[in-house]
Amino acid sequence: MLINGNDILAKAHNEGYAVGAFNINNLEMAQAIFQAANETNSPIIIQASEGAIKYAGAKMLYRIVKTLSEEYPHIPVALHLDHGTTVGSCVKAIRAGFTSVMIDASHHSFEENKDMTKTVVDIAHSVNVGVEAELGRLMGIEDNIVVDEMDAVLVNPNEAEEFVKYTKVDYLAPAIGTSHGAFKFKGEPKLDFDRLAEVKRRCNIPLVLHGASAIPEYVRERFEGTGGDLKGSKGVPFDFLKESIKGGINKINTDTDLRIMFMAEIRAVANKNLSEFDIRKFLNPAKDAVKKLIIERMEILGSVGKV
Ligand code: PH4
Ligand code: ZN
């Protein structure tokens, strides 16, 4: 059933697990996510970025998710706008039927971020839609970063407390050292778990980890084994995901892992049979591989059986 993201995340916050928030741009990814949720009885958040909306249309993505939610009525699902950059972008998503939105004003000043977020919260709450905001910048922590530099990029727990009180935002993404994409850390992976625990203690609401793809060895190997190049790539280790959930993360954003897995399988079919042109023969194995990866991730997040 398609429901407010806050209902899904409040339960995860109360019970101490995380829900996977998986990005989609098309039907096949949405099918893979629902199939994984169905096999594991997991709640899910399906999210679409402004780029995804530009590609497929907000209404189309809503219709895909709505239709699948009717096929799997026992699965709690929220359709979430990922990194909405303006109030208008959030309003458009809500009008299209999204049940959760992120207003990402983290590149604005703290005061502007507060005001934009409060505006979105007031609108969204009047129509039973949950809201996420972000504090700090999504950047990997380098090995040799000094404390002052770290304070400048990562979430400030004092600000987080003030922000949540003022805006009444439902869930918060605190920057603790992750970044988007396949190249998250130059040296050893490092996240600021102490800072995360302090934000959780002060805010006591569901928290969100962006840039949480893990790039497991078998995924990289499959991509490179089919002719791709991911030299130097590094994701968030599974142990770090578990540690972040202990520290209060309840929504784990994953996109890069799905993209890499999907493309590796497409390439595998293309390499094996140069004269294949039935697109279902490419898309079915890609969908299956993504579904398996998502099931594995749900087990790590602790969302299995939480419907
Ligand atoms: N996201 C995904 C952002 C996708 O514009 P776009 O469609 O490329 O945006 O918000 C994440 O946090 C995913 O993190 P990941 O890269 O570690 O999977
Ligand atoms: Zn993100």
Tens-of-pLDDT digits for all 307 residues of the chain?
Answer: 999 999 999 999 999 999 999 999 999 999 999 999 999 999 999 999 999 999 999 999 999 999 999 999 999 999 999 999 999 999 999 999 999 999 999 999 999 999 999 999 999 999 999 999 999 998 777 666 666 677 779 999 999 999 999 999 999 999 999 999 999 998 999 999 999 999 999 999 999 999 999 999 999 999 999 999 999 999 999 999 999 999 999 999 999 999 999 999 999 999 999 999 999 999 999 999 999 999 999 999 999 999 9
Beta carbons of 274 and 227 less than 8 angstroms apart: no
Active site residue 82: yes
- Domain spanning 5-301 has what CATH number? 3.20.20.70
**Looking at 82, 104, 170, 192, which residue is catalytic?**
82
User: How far from the centroid of its chain's Cα atoms is residue 280's Cα?
Assistant: 27
Pocket test for ligand 1, best of 25, 26, 178, 253 (most atoms within 8 A of CB): 253
Query: What's the pLDDT score for residue 147?
Result: 67
Query: What's the pLDDT score for residue 138?
Result: 87
Residue (of 116, 112, 111) closest to 102 by Cα position: 116
Is the pTM higher than 0.95? The answer reads: yes
Distances (CA, A) of 225 to 173, 229, 252, 280: 35, 9, 28, 22
Pocket test for ligand 1, best of 24, 215, 233, 255 (most atoms within 8 A of CB): 255
Three-state SS across the chain? CECCHHHHHHHHHHHCCCEEEEECCCHHHHHHHHHHHHHHCCCEEEEEEHHHHHHHCHHHHHHHHHHHHHHCCCCCEEEEEEEECCHHHHHHHHHHCCCEEEECCCCCCHHHHHHHHHHHHHHHHHCCCEEEEEECCCCCCCCCCCHHHHHHHCCCHHHHHHHHHHHCCCEEEECCCCCCCCECCCCCCCCCHHHHHHHHHHHCCCEEECCCCCCCHHHHHHHHHCCCCCCCCECCCHHHHHHHHHCCEEEEEECHHHHHHHHHHHHHHHHHCCCCCCHHHHHHHHHHHHHHHHHHHHHHHCCCCCC
Which residues lie closer than 8 Å to 232 by C-beta, 6 or more apart? 183
State the Cα–Cα distance between residues 258 and 296, nearest whole angstrom. Answer: 12
Rounded to the nearest angstrom, the distance between the alpha carbon of 138 and the centre of ligand 1 is 11
Q: Which atom of ligand 1 lies closest to the CA of 48?
A: 7
State the Cα–Cα distance between residues 92 and 292, nearest whole angstrom. Answer: 33
Closest Cα to atom 17 of ligand 1: 211
Rounded to the nearest angstrom, the distance between the alpha carbon of 304 and the centre of ligand 1 is 23
State the Cα–Cα distance between residues 32 and 46, nearest whole angstrom. Answer: 11
Q: Which atom of ligand 1 lies closest to the CA of 179?
A: 17
